[in-house]
């Protein structure tokens, strides 16, 4: 139970303390009117018992009035306790859920990209919405009802033992059988619940795949085949949902029936003891009245037990992600390279001194697939370096290692003479601006998407960055200018427009290290020259590393590194590389020849 509380609260069980205490108080308050009713019965029974015995008795109406007033007060107290429990449970659950979602998202941001790439995005989305919603319900209802029912019943048991241990034993005699039943079937329930949870995740994954691939499904008339995978997932979820109800429903109904059989045992045992003269009728009434109520919290707890166990499974999935180590400085936080200057127009003033970059015998791979092997090179501070080579040679991976999206599996990457693994990622990334092939724009205004480069930038600085990136013109022509919203991922803009907005964002950040991964790949020839001039304005005082397939765009680079299957096969300036008649020469000649191709 304690482990379950820890998992369901996403590692913060103190969040559940107030809702659980409130639920215990509310359950005890629910039993109070029944105890007072037993007291009233004892007063009335005492009067008539004295009268039947021929003894003169006076009915104590004053005491009965006090009992009735106490019952009214108990109802008011019950209302207050229930209201407090309701507010504590739901408010606490929603607050805890909001904090849990924020912590989950923040932890994802700090995880290595290698881990995120190995997980299905829809699965992580299912955790954020499905699993954390399940935990929200468990914290709001199940935790308080389950723990409250058990604790309140335990307190009643202790009180019953002081009154009459035989009646107390009869009241709770069926609980060991109930516990044994639940324990024996816990493994079966866990397997069934895991299957149900897995089918929910699979359906979310297939639905995400179906929507993302809709254009291909329509283009290639794959409606039948494309829908078949989703249809199988929906069918599996339906079967697992029926199975979980068919297996667990009768199980919990049996457990509730066993628990409530204690009421029959109270009646049988009480009558037997009364006939033997070992139990008074008023005390029997107390056991009978309170006994009718004490089983309700237990029954409610048992009916919630399945939800609780499924919530524990959801919590384990979330905690497994939260337990993944985030990227931090392994040997303490080292001083990061120089941070970018505070604020300036991006096309007027030179940046602060840029750090040098060094790869020392770096090896890296994605899973079992090696990408880089024993890579070593040094890039001078303030230089422009181009990485060229065939697709799959490891060019983009080099950029990701510089930004510490991944850590090398062998060797080290140094920035400004400091091992990147000893730097806090947040501080490291303050000094790096990136423009990658896969541009992602947030569902926000164009102005805010540029301002993500520097949140405190003024409108004038945003526009200056946009002009430098050659996107001010098309932005100004939009109905709302810089306030024009873009769709998720930038879906309302063309590929070239998204790329230019991304370049503007990098220009505005004004970092001393610039990483460009085919920054002009999506641009038409008319805009490519303008963007090349904008990129050229960034070179002064900065360390630039660019990946290029079109070699003519990097012919003036200070250093060109030619990669082939994760290894450096050539490096130098354009003239020397071309004269060497190696791989670079073949790539250059092939591109020059293909640029003249025409369709006949």
Count of Cβ atoms closer than 10 Å to residue 55 Cβ: 8
71 vs 572, which has greater pLDDT?
572
Cβ contact 262:291 at 8 Å: yes
Task: Tell me what the pLDDT averaged over the chain comes to.
Answer: 77
Q: What is the DSSP letter of 356?
A: P
Query: Which fold is adopted by the domain 357-593?
Result: Rossmann fold (3.40.50)
**Residue 340's pLDDT band (boundaries 50, 70, 90)?**
very low
pLDDT tens-place string over residues 158-209: 888 888 888 888 888 888 888 788 787 777 777 887 887 778 878 877 777 7
- Residue 253, pLDDT > 60, answer yes
| pLDDT of the residue at 225 | 53
160 vs 126, which has greater pLDDT?
160
- List the Cα angle 147/153/155 in 5-degree steps: 100
Report for 57-61, 87-91, 433-437: range of highest mean pLDDT: 433-437
pLDDT tens-place string over residues 257-295: 888 788 888 888 888 888 888 888 878 888 887 877 777
pLDDT tens-place string over residues 422-449: 887 777 878 888 887 777 788 888 888 8
Q: Would you call 52 exposed, middle or buried from its count of C-beta atoms within 10 A (0-12, 13-18, 19+)?
A: exposed
d(Cα 130, Cα 204) in Å, to the nearest integer?
10
pLDDT tens-place string over residues 292-318: 777 777 777 777 777 777 777 877 788
| Across 10-24, 100-114, 199-213, 556-570, least confident range | 10-24
- Residue 339, pLDDT > 50, answer no
For domain 2-322, give its CATH number from 1.20.1250.20, 1.20.1560.10, 1.10.260.40, 3.90.1150.10. Answer: 1.20.1560.10
- Residue 50, pLDDT > 70, answer no
d(Cα 362, Cα 412) in Å, to the nearest integer?
6
Cβ contact 415:355 at 8 Å: yes
| Across 37-41, 494-498, 500-504, 537-541, least confident range | 537-541
| pLDDT of the residue at 361 | 92
- Residue 539, pLDDT > 80, answer no
Average of pLDDT values for 108-123?
74
Beta bridge partners of 366: 369
Q: Which two tokens stand for residue 35?
A: 């105890």
φ, ψ of residue 7 to 5 degrees: the values are: -70, -45
d(Cα 542, Cα 523) in Å, to the nearest integer?
24
Cβ contact 452:504 at 8 Å: no
Average of pLDDT values for 21-25?
77
pLDDT tens-place string over residues 211-250: 767 766 666 666 555 567 778 888 888 888 888 777 777 8
**Residue 344's pLDDT band (boundaries 50, 70, 90)?**
very low
pLDDT tens-place string over residues 469-489: 778 888 888 888 899 888 766
- Residue 12, pLDDT > 70, answer no
- Residue 536, pLDDT > 70, answer no
d(Cα 51, Cα 58) in Å, to the nearest integer?
9
pLDDT tens-place string over residues 134-157: 777 777 777 777 777 778 778 888
d(Cα 180, Cα 300) in Å, to the nearest integer?
18
- Residue 130, pLDDT > 60, answer yes
Please name the residue ranges forming H helices in 419-471. 425-429, 446-451, 459-468
| pLDDT of the residue at 392 | 83
| pLDDT of the residue at 495 | 73
Tell which residue, 429, 449, 430, 451, has the closest CA to residue 440: 449
| pLDDT of the residue at 363 | 92
| pLDDT of the residue at 341 | 39
d(Cα 67, Cα 60) in Å, to the nearest integer?
11
d(Cα 565, Cα 559) in Å, to the nearest integer?
19
d(Cα 291, Cα 288) in Å, to the nearest integer?
5
Q: Which sequence spans correspond to the domains of the chain? A: 2-322, 357-593
Count of Cβ atoms closer than 10 Å to residue 215 Cβ: 8
Residues 6 or more apart in contact with residue 155 via CB below 8 angstroms: 28
Beta bridge partners of 547: 387, 517
- Residue 598, pLDDT > 50, answer no
Q: Using CA atoms in the order 266, 272, 276, 281, what is the torsion angle rounded to 10 degrees?
A: 40
> Could you tell me the sign of the dihedral formed by the alpha carbons of 268, 269, 271, 272, in that order?
positive
Cα–Cα distances in angstroms (integers) from residue 373 to residues 364, 377, 565, in the given order: 7, 12, 8
| Across 263-277, 355-369, 483-497, least confident range | 483-497
- List the Cα angle 232/234/237 in 5-degree steps: 110
- List the Cα angle 303/306/312 in 5-degree steps: 135
- Residue 548, pLDDT > 60, answer yes
d(Cα 592, Cα 600) in Å, to the nearest integer?
19
């Amino acid at each position: 139970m304690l482990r379950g509380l820890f998992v369901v609260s996403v590692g913060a069980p103190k969040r559940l303390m107030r809702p659980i205490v409130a639920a215990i108080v509310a359950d005890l308050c629910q039993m109070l009117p029944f105890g007072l009713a037993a007291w009233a019965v004892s007063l009335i029974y005492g009067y008539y018992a004295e009268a039947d015995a021929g003894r003169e008795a006076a009915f104590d109406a004053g005491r009965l009035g006090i009992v009735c007033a106490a019952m009214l007060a108990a109802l008011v107290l019950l209302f207050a306790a229930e209201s407090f429990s309701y507010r504590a449970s739901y408010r606490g659950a929603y607050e805890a859920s909001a904090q849990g979602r924020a912590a989950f998202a923040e932890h994802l941001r700090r995880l290595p990209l290698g881990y995120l790439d190995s997980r299905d995005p829809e699965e992580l989305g299912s955790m954020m919405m499905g699993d954390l919603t399940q935990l929200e319900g468990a914290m709001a209802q199940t935790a308080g009802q389950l723990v409250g029912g058990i604790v309140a019943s335990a307190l009643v048991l202790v009180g019953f033992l002081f009154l009459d241990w035989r009646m107390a034993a009869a009241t709770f005699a069926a609980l060991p059988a109930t516990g044994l039943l639940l324990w024996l079937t816990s493994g079966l329930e866990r397997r069934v619940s895991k299957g149900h949870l897995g089918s929910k995740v699979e359906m979310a994954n297939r639905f995400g795949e179906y929507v993302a691939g809709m254009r291909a499904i329509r283009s290639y008339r794959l409606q039948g085949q494309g829908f078949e995978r989703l249809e199988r997932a929906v069918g599996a979820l339906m079967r697992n949902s029926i199975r979980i109800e068919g297996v667990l429903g009768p199980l919990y109904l049996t457990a509730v029936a066993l628990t409530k059989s204690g009421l029959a045992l109270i009646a049988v045992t009480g009558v037997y003891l009364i006939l033997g003269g070992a139990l008074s009728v008023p005390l029997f009434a107390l056991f009978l009245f309170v006994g009718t109520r004490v089983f309700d919290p237990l029954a409610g707890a048992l009916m919630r037990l399945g939800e609780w166990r499924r919530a524990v499974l959801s919590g384990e999935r979330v905690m497994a992600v939260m337990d993944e180590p985030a990227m931090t400085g392994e040997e303490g936080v080292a001083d990061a390279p120089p941070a970018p200057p505070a604020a300036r127009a991006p096309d007027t003033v030179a940046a602060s001194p840029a750090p040098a970059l060094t790869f020392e015998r770096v090896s890296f791979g994605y899973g079992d697939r090696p990408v880089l092997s024993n890579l070593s090179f040094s890039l001078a501070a303030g230089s422009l370096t181009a990485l060229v080579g065939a697709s799959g040679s490891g060019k983009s991976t080099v950029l990701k290692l510089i930004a510490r999206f991944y850590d090398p599996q062998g060797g080290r990457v140094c920035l400004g003479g400091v091992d990147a693994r000893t730097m806090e990622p947040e501080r490291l990334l303050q000094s790096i601006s990136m423009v990658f092939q896969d541009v992602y724009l947030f569902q926000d205004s164009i102005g805010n998407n540029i301002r993500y480069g520097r949140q405190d930038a003024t409108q004038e600085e945003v526009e200056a960055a946009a002009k430098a990136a050659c996107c001010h013109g098309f932005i100004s022509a939009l109905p709302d200018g810089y306030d024009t919203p873009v769709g998720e991922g930038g879906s309302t803009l063309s590929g070239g427009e998204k790329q230019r907005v991304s370049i503007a964002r990098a220009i505005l950040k004004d970092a001393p290290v610039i990483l460009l991964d085919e920054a002009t790949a999506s641009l038409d020839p008319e805009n490519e020259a303008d963007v090349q001039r904008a990129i050229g304005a960034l070179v002064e005082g900065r360390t630039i590393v660019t990946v290029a397939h079109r070699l003519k765009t990097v012919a003036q680079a200070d250093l060109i590194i030619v990669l082939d299957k994760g290894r450096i096969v050539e490096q130098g300036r354009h003239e020397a590389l071309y004269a060497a008649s190696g791989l670079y020469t073949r790539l250059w000649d092939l591109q020059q020849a293909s640029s003249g191709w025409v369709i006949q």
